[in-house]
Amino acid sequence: MSAELASALAGAGGGVTALLTTYPLLTVTTVQQTLLASSARDDDASESTSRKPSDSTGSSSAGPLTKRRLVHDSTSSPAEPPPPKTPVTALEVARKLVATNGVGALYNGVVPALVGTATSQAVYYATMSRLRRLLLSSQNKPADAPISVASTLLVASAAGCVNVMLTNPIWVVVTIMQAQRKSSDATDATSRTATTLEVIRDIYRGGGLSGYWKGVVASLIMVSNPTIQYAFYEGLLNLRRRYWATPRPSKSGPSTPSKPGPLEVFLLGMVAKFGATVITYPLLVVKSRLQSTTKKSDANGSAKEDGKYRSTLEALVSISRDEGVGALYRGIETKLVQTLTAAGLLFMVADSINAEARRLLKVKT
């Protein structure tokens, strides 16, 4: 189990480093996606009450941040045509968060995120390592031998499913905190950022244990992201070994390709993540919107869904129909900056930690 322990340490260390470096961008991206969902609900409410032709051609844009909460400005007169919808840019969101709540707002929810990242990356890397070793052993190959892209898809998919089922509750809490949403009915004058324990309690009160697995279907589908990422990465490594790796002399046999250096690992990780993100980004938008809505009790004490989507498929269809297909890629520019940097750091740091951990644990290859 030493190899799995080394892989778990590598995954946790790489994931934490990448998260701390890129967390502000992650927060801004999540808030952007949540603003779009809130704006769409505001548009529906406006159309149902005003019944004016002008209301079908525009809607109010995202308003300023109130104390400790991001809200929309709904003070425009019904007699006046609403201003045109303007996309909320990453810079605007960041400025509002910092101006209202300080720089610390960009790191809201970072503690549970660190716990979730360390746990999920440790589970993912350890499971990947174990399955990879079992696969190579069944083929009578050494533990450090390369595997095919098809095998990588299989191994990464299985590891991702295990990871999702174990850590989804943590990510539900993290997403709600990042989006600056409280599930209680506090007024704007007294609203504040919910603590981790408050969010956990509110989720349980609204939906029971099943509330912690909200969006799990989308999360399981999103396993395709790291699966595709690692398939791309393994494919790039295979190309490197074949075409441009420097031969490394071996005393026991023919020369073998040299291992990639830190900068090379960083760049290969970024390229692999780019392909995976472009393919799976719409599912990330859906997952964020599903998890940022919670259940709350109405006047009769019954649970009421604070959101317009009940399933992953319904969210995909509704967003495409009501907001256009482009809405599924809204905010991808910011996400690409964050996720490519994070992926490069993850691969680079994890590779270095794994090599050192294997040396200290005396893992045989």
Query: What would the pLDDT profile of 18-42 be if each residue is shown by its tens digit?
Result: 999 998 888 887 777 666 656 655 5
Q: What pLDDT digit, counting tens, does each position of 280-295 carry?
A: 888 878 877 776 655 4
For 199-228, the DSSP string reads HHHHHHHHHGGGGGGTTHHHHHHTTHHHHH
What would the mean pLDDT of 83-91 be, rounded to a whole number? 59
* 220 — pLDDT class (breaks 50, 70, 90): confident
Express as a percent the part of the chain with pLDDT over 90: 25
* Beta carbons within 8 Å of 151's beta carbon, 6+ residues apart: 135
pLDDT at 340: 93
Determine the average pLDDT of the residues in 263-281.
92
Among residues 169, 266, 262, 156, the alpha carbon closest in space to that of 208 is found at 169
pLDDT for residue 346 is more than 50: yes
Domain 2-360: which CATH number of 1.10.3720.10, 3.60.20.30, 1.50.40.10, 3.30.1370.60: 1.50.40.10
Q: Is the pLDDT of residue 331 over 70?
A: yes
Helical axes 149-178 vs 110-138, angle rounded to 10°: 170
Q: Where are the domains of the chain?
A: 2-360
Provide the residue type at 192 as one letter: R
Q: Per residue in 182-195, is it b (16+ CB within 10 Å) or e — as a string?
A: bbeeeeeeebebbe
| Confidence grade of residue 192 (pLDDT, cut at 50, 70, 90) | low
Q: What is the pLDDT of residue 264?
A: 93
Judge whether 173 and 196 are in contact, CB under 8 Å. Answer: yes
pTM exceeds 0.75, yes or no: no
Residue 178 pLDDT more than 70?
no
Summarised one tens digit per residue, pLDDT across range 4-16 is 999 999 999 999 9
End-to-end Cα spacing for the chain: 13
Tell me the CB-side half-sphere exposure of residue 120, using CA atoms within 13 A.
24
* Amino acid at the residue 209: L
Rounded to an integer, the average pLDDT of 307-322 is: 79
